[in-house]
Amino acid sequence: MFVTALAEAAGRIQACLEDALADRADQKVVHAMRYAVEGGKRLRGFLVMEGARLHGVGPETSVHAAAAVEALHAYSLVHDDLPCMDDDALRRGRPTVHVKWDQATAVLAGDALQSLAFELLTREALGPAGRRLALVSGLARAAGAEGMVLGQALDIAAETAAEPLTLDEITALQAGKTGALIRWSAEAGALLAGADPAPLGRYAAALGLAFQIADDILDVEGDAGKAGKRLNKDAAAGKATFVSLLGLEGARARAKALVEEAEAALQPYGAEADILQHCARFVIARDM
Amino acid sequence: MFVTALAEAAGRIQACLEDALADRADQKVVHAMRYAVEGGKRLRGFLVMEGARLHGVGPETSVHAAAAVEALHAYSLVHDDLPCMDDDALRRGRPTVHVKWDQATAVLAGDALQSLAFELLTREALGPAGRRLALVSGLARAAGAEGMVLGQALDIAAETAAEPLTLDEITALQAGKTGALIRWSAEAGALLAGADPAPLGRYAAALGLAFQIADDILDVEGDAGKAGKRLNKDAAAGKATFVSLLGLEGARARAKALVEEAEAALQPYGAEADILQHCARFVIARDM
């Protein structure tokens, strides 16, 4: 049920992004943008579309906001993979953008994908101007130096810090690095309907942290072939992770408690929120 | 008169940017953002504020849009200066961001400055939601893979092309690389007032090209100390410029004709547009 909804959302999002990037200049930077937005789980875009559906907003409307957050997420991955950042050669089972093309193309493709994200949020199909503007404002904050970029900067600083991060510090880091965008995604559907985003915000805060803990567990236990990226790199770099701080069993227990917290936040929506309930459980059980 | 107006706009824009970056995390990436938005001519921000004034929109309103385009311009300079792009160590007479800090900080500071630009455009002080949204949409297009990023990509591609660019190709390149943002800046004031942006758009198209030709002339004739950046690098790299294609006298004549075109576009505004007239003449006479 969740898997079907995720796949359906992914298909719509991919079509929307391909359409947005059609008829562009025949340049490396445009080819790299198309490549960078292909594949991925589309978890963020799915959250947008499912949160919208819960509020009576259909996919033909919400897909533009879902595509926007996936374009923004894709930009962050392209830049994170750069040699001066995480220096990764593999992403989603394929060469990263700077490996397939070059670093300049990766910087520029990421930059243009961020612009594209904001352009998509201005589309008339998303409804009244005030609501679109709330999405733009929220995404700009979630992406910037008080959200995702701050989290990434803290992550890089942690690599050269004298002491490993504490649990509070790593929680704050992840709230920025992955949490801010996941939260925006979950709240976007409510904003599109002019509804209160607070329940979905609580859901997303717990989900985002559970997702990161699951990622740390996968980093230790996973299969690089299935994950489509290099694994075990945090432990190899001597960086603190939820697993190093809580132990494998402790991390699993914390993720489970967070999933219960996420599920509790969905109570106001009743059975309508079943797919989001499944999503929360799936995130910590994933083998993807 | 133009110089006074430019200095006054620059002061207001700097204060707005400092305010936007106050009370942020004490992190390298935030320090680098503050550093990157210091100084510069503020030509783009000035065009926003002067275009707004022509339409009866005051500086306390327009300064937020002016600060947005200067944040976006600052991001583009930080990324352009990276080793994998233009590899410049000096900007505005000071070390570039990746030299003063490191490349990861430069990538992240640029990324967050782009987010900040869009965040600034959502501020309520800018007026009705529909007008703010038109600014967001226009800036996203001007910055992205059909505007500034495309121009930069074409510029990089030209470095390894078998043949030097033709005059048409270099004109198209500059329309993206510097022209799109200058045009957005000039049109923003009309959009803020809900007025027709076409006259200011024609003014900016001519001004932007004149500006770039003047830059190429300065690159050959200028004083690196005054310019605050490395000069003569295009000629050294064997790249076509307006000077290499038209000759020094031909380039001067073309810039002069463009300034006359820019001045003609301002006719509908009469004497009210005197400062923008001065601006156009100043751009090709500059020694800054």
The answer to whether the CB of A126 falls within 8 A of the CB of A154 is no
Residue (of B6, B227, B102, B45) closest to A156 by Cα position = B102
d(CA B77, CA B88): 10
Q: How far is A250 from chain B (nearest CA, A)?
A: 30
Please provide the average confidence, as pLDDT, over all residues in chain A. 93
pLDDT tier at B284, thresholds 50, 70, 90: confident
**How open is the CA angle B177-B178-B180, to the nearest 5 degrees?**
90
- The count of residues in chain B is 288
The answer to whether the CB of A55 falls within 8 A of the CB of A195 is yes
Q: Which residues contact A49 (CB under 8 A, 6 or more apart)?
A: A9, A12, A13, A59, A62, A63, A66, A189
Q: How far is B110 from chain A (nearest CA, A)?
A: 9
Chain A residues within an 8 Å CB radius of B102: 84
pLDDT of residue B220: 86
Please provide the average confidence, as pLDDT, over all residues in chain B. 93
**CA–CA distance from A50 to each of A7, A41, A103, A148, A184 (Å)?**
12, 14, 36, 23, 13
pLDDT of residue B161: 85
Q: Is B143 on the interface with A (CB under 8 A)?
A: yes
Q: How far is B62 from chain A (nearest CA, A)?
A: 18
- For residue range A171-205, what is the model confidence (pLDDT) as tens digits? 999 999 999 999 999 999 999 999 999 999 999 99
ipTM higher than threshold 0.85: yes
- The overall longest dimension of chain B from CA atoms, in Å, is 51
Mean pLDDT over A93-115 rounds to 97
- For residue range B254-270, what is the model confidence (pLDDT) as tens digits? 999 999 999 999 999 99
Q: Is A236 on the interface with B (CB under 8 A)?
A: no
Does A150 contact B105 at a Cβ distance shorter than 8 Å? no
Task: Give the residues across from B90 on adjacent strands.
Answer: B95
Q: Is B108 on the interface with A (CB under 8 A)?
A: yes
Does B24 contact A115 at a Cβ distance shorter than 8 Å? no
- For residue range B204-223, what is the model confidence (pLDDT) as tens digits? 999 999 999 998 998 888 76
Restricting to A residues 156-175, those with a Cβ less than 8 Å away from any Cβ of B are 156-157
Q: Is A27 on the interface with B (CB under 8 A)?
A: yes
The two structure tokens encoding residue A242: 């939820």
The answer to whether the CB of A102 falls within 8 A of the CB of A81 is no
- Ordered structural domains, chain B, with CATH: 2-285 (1.10.600.10)
Q: Is B96 on the interface with A (CB under 8 A)?
A: no
- For residue range B148-175, what is the model confidence (pLDDT) as tens digits? 999 999 999 988 888 889 999 999 999 9
Chain B residues within an 8 Å CB radius of A84: 102-104, 107
Cβ-count burial of A129 within 10 angstroms (0-12 exposed, 13-18 middle, 19+ buried)?
A: middle
Does A154 contact B27 at a Cβ distance shorter than 8 Å? yes
Q: Is A125 on the interface with B (CB under 8 A)?
A: no
The answer to whether the CB of A101 falls within 8 A of the CB of A36 is no
- For residue range A25-73, what is the model confidence (pLDDT) as tens digits? 899 999 999 999 998 999 999 999 999 999 999 999 999 999 999 999 9
Q: Is B84 on the interface with A (CB under 8 A)?
A: yes
Say which DSSP state B113 is in: H
φ, ψ for residue A95, nearest 5 deg: -60, 140
d(CA B208, CA B230): 21
Q: How far is A214 from chain B (nearest CA, A)?
A: 26
pLDDT of residue B71: 98
Does A108 contact B140 at a Cβ distance shorter than 8 Å? no
d(CA B261, CA A164): 62
If phi > 0 it is left, if psi is from -120 to 50 it is alpha, else beta; for residue A94 that is beta
How many beta-carbon pairs under 8 angstroms link A with B?
157
Q: How do B90-91 and B94-95 pair as beta strands?
A: antiparallel
Does A111 contact B116 at a Cβ distance shorter than 8 Å? no
Does A27 contact B154 at a Cβ distance shorter than 8 Å? yes
Mean pLDDT over B272-277 rounds to 96
pLDDT of residue B234: 67
pLDDT tier at B128, thresholds 50, 70, 90: very high
Mean pLDDT over B34-43 rounds to 95
pLDDT tier at A1, thresholds 50, 70, 90: confident
- Expressed in angstroms, the distance from the first to the final Cα of chain A is 17
Q: How far is Cα of residue B166 from the mean position of the Cα atoms in its chain?
A: 24
pLDDT of residue B162: 86
Q: Is B25 on the interface with A (CB under 8 A)?
A: yes
Does B104 contact A85 at a Cβ distance shorter than 8 Å? yes
For the cut 80, the answer to whether the pLDDT of residue B14 exceeds it is yes
Segment (H or E) for B72:
helix B59-80
Sign of CA dihedral B203, B208, B211, B212: negative
d(CA A186, CA A76): 19
